Amino acid sequence: MITLLSHLSYVALTTPDVEASVDFYVNQVGMTEVGRDDDGVYLRCWGDYYSYSLVITAGDEPALHSMAWRTTSAEALEAAVERIEAAGSVGEWFEGRDIGRAYRFVGPWGHTMVLHWDVVHHRYTEGDLASTFPDRPQRRSRVAGAPRQLDHVTICASDVDAFAKWYRDVFGFRIMARTVLEEAPISVFSVLTTNEKSHDLGVVLDGSTRAGRVNHFAFWYDTREEMLIAADLLMENGTMIEYGPTIHGIGEQSFLYYRDPSTMRIELNTGGYRNYVPDWEPQTWKTSQGSYDIYRNAGFPVSLSDSFPPADGPTATEEGVPDEIKADLLKGRV
Ligand SMILES: [Fe+2]
């Protein structure tokens, strides 16, 4: 199967207090606000190649509004839509900000996904945000510890393996690894990728039946040193680090977790391996093998099982997300 998707391009989040979140992402994370419209506030990291990588939009709860992937070509966008609809999901075409004609649909576990080919290749050529280096779209953030770019998103689903297989079969994601319970062959985590990274889409087991939840999204650093500066600044700013800094076994990235003002979990990560093997066979890990934390010496905070929005609300069933809920998800109302 040809590769249809190239990489994660943006994540859109809902939050009850848009201005508090925007202030946090600008002044603590070090992102740049690039625009506002009725759909939300658009933000970018200094190294993001397109206009924006994060959209903050108003909603009753912290939640994943949508996650967007850029296809590998205009033809791949059409092919991907054909495959989505052949697999039984139906979405809608829309005109997105700086992404042209885009397709939005709700996947079987309730996650709204946007696919697009068109982008605006972003580069400040003059003014305070222009870089002296030709390849940089923007000068490095003046906020210490600002991440370079968006990295991945990890969602929740009631059947981890079935989720991974659906996204593999429809789009050609490679399944890179999975974690099973110590006491039973039940998958609790899996990672998928569209490129050489260990993952740009993760999935954790959701004990609730609520549709479309997310566990976290992640930014990227070039070096561990920069991530540790960010960790230092979080402490200076009085922002609790939920876990880390430490190293994942799966992927081998250095990472830490913290929360934004809406309580949404942010991961900072760097390093890890590159994997170019087209027919990679995913291995099965157990937590005791260091899948989550290679050092295996820290307690797993109960809070890490928090996902967003909270567990009560519209539900998915074993047959998938009911059509009336899908309609609401597409409109961003759930
Ligand atoms: Fe992650």
Copy the structure tokens of residue 266: 């942010």
Q: What's the number of domains the chain is made of?
A: 1
Say which residue the tokens 């890890």 belong to: 272
188 φ/ψ angles, rounded to the nearest 5 degrees: -115, -10
Q: Report helix angle 74-86 to 160-171, nearest 10.
A: 130
pLDDT in tens, the chain (334 residues): 778 999 999 999 999 999 999 999 999 999 999 999 999 999 999 999 999 999 999 999 999 999 999 999 999 999 999 999 999 998 999 999 999 999 999 999 999 999 999 999 999 999 999 999 999 999 999 999 999 999 999 999 999 999 999 999 999 999 999 999 989 999 999 999 999 999 999 999 998 879 999 999 999 999 999 999 999 999 999 999 999 999 999 999 999 999 999 999 999 999 999 999 999 999 999 989 999 999 998 887 889 989 999 887 655 555 566 666 666 666 654 3
CATH number of the domain residue 230 falls in: 3.10.180.10
How far away, in angstroms, is 259 Cα from ligand 1 center?
13
Total length of the chain: 334
**In the sheet that 54-58 helps form, which strands lie side by side, from edge to edge?**
32-37, 40-44, 54-58, 5-15, 63-71, 112-116, 100-106, 92-96
> Cα-Cα-Cα-Cα dihedral of 62, 150, 321, 91, to 10°?
120
How far away, in angstroms, is 44 Cα from ligand 1 center?
19
What average pLDDT does the structure give for the chain?
Answer: 93
How far away, in angstroms, is 128 Cα from ligand 1 center?
32
How far away, in angstroms, is 151 Cα from ligand 1 center?
9
**What is the distance between the alpha carbons of residues 183 and 261, in angstroms, rounded to a whole number?**
36
Domain that holds residue 88: 5-330
280 φ/ψ angles, rounded to the nearest 5 degrees: -55, 135
How far away, in angstroms, is 215 Cα from ligand 1 center?
9
How far away, in angstroms, is 324 Cα from ligand 1 center?
31
Tens-digit pLDDT profile for residues 216-272: 999 999 999 999 999 999 999 999 999 999 999 999 999 999 999 999 999 999 999
How far away, in angstroms, is 329 Cα from ligand 1 center?
24
How far away, in angstroms, is 30 Cα from ligand 1 center?
20
Nearest Cα to Cα of residue 281 among 178, 200, 184: 178
How far away, in angstroms, is 49 Cα from ligand 1 center?
21
Say which residue the tokens 């260990």 belong to: 198
Tens-digit pLDDT profile for residues 290-312: 999 999 988 878 899 899 998 87
How far away, in angstroms, is 168 Cα from ligand 1 center?
19
